[in-house]
Each structure stands twice: as structure tokens, then as C-alpha cells.
């Protein structure tokens, strides 16, 4: 008997084929009537394949009384009620580490593109405007500046190492100071922003970090400062960010994540001092393959009674 596994969000085709072979899959992601499917198969599903932007709360969980394992295809799981899973005796896995380099690279890509006005320059060359009216205005350099990392976890640390290589001085904010780290610690995000030319958000999302990058922090970065976000849209006060960019109180921003995805606030479209990316920091063939394989391998480990590879709870 193959275990029944509910799919709320698919993983990559090659790994979906592996799942098909090992389990009876119920594709909630493809269902016309999700409620009817849940009512029919929910009681017998012991596994779930999901993704960080799909909500898994107490009400959803109540429809899955046999659930034992949730394999989440992203590193972030702020839409998943982990305490509720734990209370129900359900294990959760995610996909850390394999995406760290690509996400950190994306932060640097956005940082450099925002400060050097890459997109403006590209448009300038393509349109022939360069030949007609000369170079674009001068931009802002990076080397020798200070960068504040909000959340020095695996990804934040990888960003910090890259920033050091660019000649930036690194400071960070976290709930507590990390022993044995050479970077300057700040117990307050506004104080970090005051010290920083560039602020990078790389913290987890969820209620605990909502608008942790406040209007005051953006104000502290100032008209020559830059804000980079590869974390979650919720970690910054987005209306304040838009206003600060519009009024030139913040120099530039590079954003991979937004409060409303995949339809971010249209006000972003009219701003020339922001570089936008469609929540795609982990979006490479190589990394998505590894993330998908972790989804499969964690499920396989669970059903074989082995240790989970990347457990959350
Ligand atoms: C995105 C991520 O899920 O793993 C995470 O938590 O945010 C990313 O991998 C991915 O970029 C698609 O939205």
C-alpha cells in the first residue's frame, strides 16, 4: 500500500515523477473543487508536499487527521503554523542550505544594480539615448561603505561574506549577539540603519518580524542609502518604503519580495530608483533541483523511519 500524500504545490517534474512512483498523490493544486477533494481524501493523507507561500493553519490541519509529515519545498515557512503542527504530532521539513548561495548572490546583484543604476543604464544604451544625450547621471559606489544585515543566519552570513569581498564593512542586527563574529552587533534595527549606508533584510518572515525595517529605519538610511530585501515583503513597512523612494528620502532599493505577490503595489512601477525581481532568488535550475530533491528525500526518510534530513520541528 502506497501512503496517501496531498500536494498543495508541486515540485519539479523529475521529482514529481519520483513522488508518483512512491505514493498515491492527491493534487489539491490541480483540483477544481478543493473542498470536495479535501473532504474525500483528507482523512487518509499521511503526507503533504507544500511550499512556503501556501497557508497551512489550524483549520486546514483539522481536515487532515492522519497527517504525519509535511515536506515544504522552500526554506521559509512563515505561512505554516509550526506550533499547531507540533501539537498535532506532525513533522515539518524545509529546504535550507541548498539555496543559500543563489539567494546571497541575488542580494548582491540587487545591491549593485540598485546603486549603479544598472537598469537605467541598460535602457539608456538600448534606446540610443546615450548617443543622443550622453551618459546617465553619476551613481553611488559600494566599496568602503557600511552594510547592515538584518538577520545573520545562513543566508545573512553568506551575504556578509560577499559584502566583505566587495570591501564593505559589515554590521548586523539579530535577537542576540553571535559570539566569535567579527562584525559589529546592533540590538536595534534603527541604530543599525543609522550606522549603515546599505541595509539588507535577510531575516525570517512572520508575525515576529513584521515591519522590523520601519519608516524610521528607512529614514535613517537616508537619500544616499540603499535598502535590499531578499527576505519577505512583510519585514519592511512597504508604504513607508514607497514614500521614501518617491520623495528621495531613501536613495535606492533592490527588492526580490513584496507584501502582495505576485501583484506588488503598482506604485513600484513608477519608481526609477528601485530594482524589482519576482521573488526568484532561489530560481536557478541547479538550486531548484536540489530543493525539489530535498522534498522527496525528506518524505522518503520519514516513511522509511530514518532521521529527517532537514527537520524544522
Ligand atoms: C522562494 C524562498 O520560495 O525558499 C524560500 O523560502 O523564499 C524562495 O526559495 C522562491 O524563490 C519562489 O517564490
Atom of ligand 1 nearest to the CA of 51: 3
**Domains of the chain, each with CATH number or no CATH:** 4-98+286-303 (3.40.50.720), 100-276 (3.40.50.720)
Ligand 1 and 273: CB distance under 6 A: no
Give residue 29's pLDDT band: very low, low, confident or very high (50, 70, 90): very high
Cα–Cα distance for residue pair 272/120, rounded to 1 Å: 8
Q: How far apart are the first and last CA of the chain?
A: 27
Of 279, 145, 258, nearest to 199 (Cα)?
145
Instruction: Pick from 54, 279, 288 the residue to mutate for probing ligand 1's pocket: most ligand atoms within 8 Å of its CB.
Output: 279
ipTM exceeding cut-off 0.85 for this assembly: yes
Ligand 1 and 153: CB distance under 6 A: no
Nearest CA to ligand 1 atom 6: 76
Cα–Cα distance for residue pair 238/298, rounded to 1 Å: 35
Q: List, by residue number, the catalytic residues.
A: 232, 261, 279
Ligand 1 center to 132 CA (angstroms) = 41
The model's pLDDT over 167-226, given as tens digits with 9 standing for 90+, comes to 999 999 999 999 999 999 999 999 999 999 999 999 999 999 999 999 999 999 999 999
The model's pLDDT over 268-283, given as tens digits with 9 standing for 90+, comes to 999 999 999 999 999 9
Q: What is the pTM of this model?
A: 0.95
Ligand 1 and 283: CB distance under 6 A: yes
- Cα 182–Cα 184–Cα 186 angle in degrees, nearest 5: 145
Amino acid at each position: 500500500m502506497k501512503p496517501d500524500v496531498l500536494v498543495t504545490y508541486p515540485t519539479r517534474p523529475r521529482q514529481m515523477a519520483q513522488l508518483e512512483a512512491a505514493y498515491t498523490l492527491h493534487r489539491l493544486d490541480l483540483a477544481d473543487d478543493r473542498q470536495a477533494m479535501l473532504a474525500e481524501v483528507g482523512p487518509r493523507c499521511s503526507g503533504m508536499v507544500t511550499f512556503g507561500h501556501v497557508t497551512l493553519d489550524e483549520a486546514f490541519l483539522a481536515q487532515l487527521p492522519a497527517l504525519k509529515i509535511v515536506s515544504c519545498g522552500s526554506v521559509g515557512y512563515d505561512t505554516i503554523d509550526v506550533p499547531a503542527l507540533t501539537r498535532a504530532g506532525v513533522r515539518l521539513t524545509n529546504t535550507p542550505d541548498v539555496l543559500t548561495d543563489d539567494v546571497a548572490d541575488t542580494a548582491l546583484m540587487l545591491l549593485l544594480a540598485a546603486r549603479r543604476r544598472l537598469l537605467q543604464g541598460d535602457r539608456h544604451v538600448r534606446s540610443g539615448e546615450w548617443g543622443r544625450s550622453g551618459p546617465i547621471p553619476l551613481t553611488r559606489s559600494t566599496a568602503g561603505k557600511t552594510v547592515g544585515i538584518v538577520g545573520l543566519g545562513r543566508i545573512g552570513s553568506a551575504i556578509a561574506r560577499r559584502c566583505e569581498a566587495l570591501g564593505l564593512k559589515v554590521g548586523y542586527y539579530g535577537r542576540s549577539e553571535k559570539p566569535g563574529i567579527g562584525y559589529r552587533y546592533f540590538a536595534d534595527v534603527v541604530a543599525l540603519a543609522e550606522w549603515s549606508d546599505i541595509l539588507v533584510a535577510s531575516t525570517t518572515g512572520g508575525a515576529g518580524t513584521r515591519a522590523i525595517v520601519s519608516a524610521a529605519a528607512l529614514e535613517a538610511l537616508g537619500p544616499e542609502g540603499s535598502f535590499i530585501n531578499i527576505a519577505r515583503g512583510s519585514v519592511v513597512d512597504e508604504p513607508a518604503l514607497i514614500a521614501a523612494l518617491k520623495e528621495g528620502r531613501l536613495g535606492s532599493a533592490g527588492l526580490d519580495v513584496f507584501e502582495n505577490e505576485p501583484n506588488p503595489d503598482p506604485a513600484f512601477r513608477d519608481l526609477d530608483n528601485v530594482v524589482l525581481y519576482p521573488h526568484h532568488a532561489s530560481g536557478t535550475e541547479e538550486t531548484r533541483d536540489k530543493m525539489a530533491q530535498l522534498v522527496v528525500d525528506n518524505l522518503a526518510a520519514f516513511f522509511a523511519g530514518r532521521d529527517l534530513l532537514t527537520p524544522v520541528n
